[in-house]
């Protein structure tokens, strides 16, 4: 059992446990904190997969900006655990069973997929800013500009909605 | 390390996200579960990018750029969605999706 497999197992266990914590904890603030743990574990996976730029962006954007925004909104709303009304129990079980059924079907369908393995020792520089920036500004200029328009419209929309 | 491990991890995270969307009533938690599903897909894209690099393909950076664009769209979505939820909360003093589903008043 190599060191990469051990790191993968630990990170995966942390990610799945904290993802379960997100959906099972009663207090929404605990859910957000579990989500941050899950995102940090996923960022660890990124750096295991030679995606250094995505690792940094994931930590800054997701853990630093989006989750703090969630936390900010939650604390502004002053929600407590007893405010959330409980769903009827059979609906909860139906949700869990249908999610589990989807898990079962996907795992059964992809169990025998023949895909090549990942060589963990094979360090590449494909995830560095230099390579990604070259590809972004040559092959993917149009999506990049479109996403800037999307950001502008999202910003205007958030301001307009928030002002009412 | 087989890439199947990453596929199974992503499937597990995605299904946990789906379970959260189906089980919870708090709109903010449902939003976070959607983020979780997006992240499961992102992780799978990065794993496939690494797989292509090891297979000798030179254009494997495209998968990582897709992840970048998914992050961009998720950030825009969260800003607008949280603004809508805050506005709803100001009107109804609740983030229960059954109350939000009425949309009027």
Q: Is residue A97 part of a domain?
A: no
Within-domain flag for A80: yes
For residue A90, is it within any domain?
A: no
**ipTM, 2 dp:** 0.90
Domain containing residue A131: 124-164
pLDDT of residue A157: 93
Widest pairwise Cα distance in chain B: 58
Domain assignment present for A116: no
| A106-136 pLDDT tens trace | 999 988 877 777 777 677 777 788 888 988 9
Q: CB contact, 8 Å: A117 with chain B?
A: yes
Spatial separation of the C-alpha atoms in residues A73 and A128, rounded to whole Å: 34
**Beta-carbon separation of B75 and A65 below 8 A:** yes
Model confidence pLDDT, tens digit, residues A60-77: 998 989 999 999 888 888
A73: nearest CB among B12, B69, B86: B86
Placement of tokens 């990942």 in the chain:
A118
Domains by residue range for chain B, with CATH: 4-100 (1.10.287.3510)
Rounded to 10 deg, the angle between the A67-77 and B61-92 helix axes is: 10
User: Is A7 an interface residue toward B (CB < 8 Å)?
Assistant: no
A32 in a structural domain = yes
**In whole angstroms, how far apart are CA A120 and each of A7, A45, A130, B43, B45?**
11, 12, 22, 16, 16
**A-chain residues within 8 Å CB-CB of B53?**
50, 122, 124, 126
pLDDT at B40 over 60: yes
């Amino acid at each position: 059992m190599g060191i990469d497999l051990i790191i993968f197992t630990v990170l995966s266990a942390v990610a799945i446990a904290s993802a379960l914590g997100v959906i099972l904890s009663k207090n929404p603030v605990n859910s957000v904190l579990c989500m941050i743990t899950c995102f940090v574990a996923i960022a660890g996976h990124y750096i295991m997969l030679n995606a250094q730029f995505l690792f940094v962006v994931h930590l800054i954007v997701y853990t630093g900006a989006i989750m703090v925004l969630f936390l900010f909104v939650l604390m502004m709303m002053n929600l407590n655990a007893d405010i959330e009304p409980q769903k009827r129990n059979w609906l909860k079980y139906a949700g869990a069973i249908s999610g589990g059924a989807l898990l079962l079907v996907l795992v059964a369908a992809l169990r025998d997929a023949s895909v090549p393995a990942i060589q963990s020792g094979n360090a590449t520089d494909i995830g560095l800013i230099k390579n990604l920036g070259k590809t972004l500004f040559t092959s993917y200029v149009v999506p990049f500009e479109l996403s800037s328009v999307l950001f502008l419209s999202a910003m205007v929309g958030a301001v307009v909605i928030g002002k009412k | 390390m087989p890439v199947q491990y990453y596929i199974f991890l992503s499937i597990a995270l995605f299904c946990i996200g789906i379970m959260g969307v189906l089980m919870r009533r708090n709109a903010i938690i449902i939003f976070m579960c959607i983020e979780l599903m997006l992240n499961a897909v992102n992780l799978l894209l990065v794993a496939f990018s690494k797989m292509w690099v090891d297979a000798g393909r030179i254009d494997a950076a495209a998968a990582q750029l897709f992840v970048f664009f998914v992050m961009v769209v998720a950030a825009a979505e969260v800003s607008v969605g949280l603004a809508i939820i805050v506005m709803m909360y100001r009107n109804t003093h609740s983030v229960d999706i059954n109350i939000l589903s009425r949309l009027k008043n």
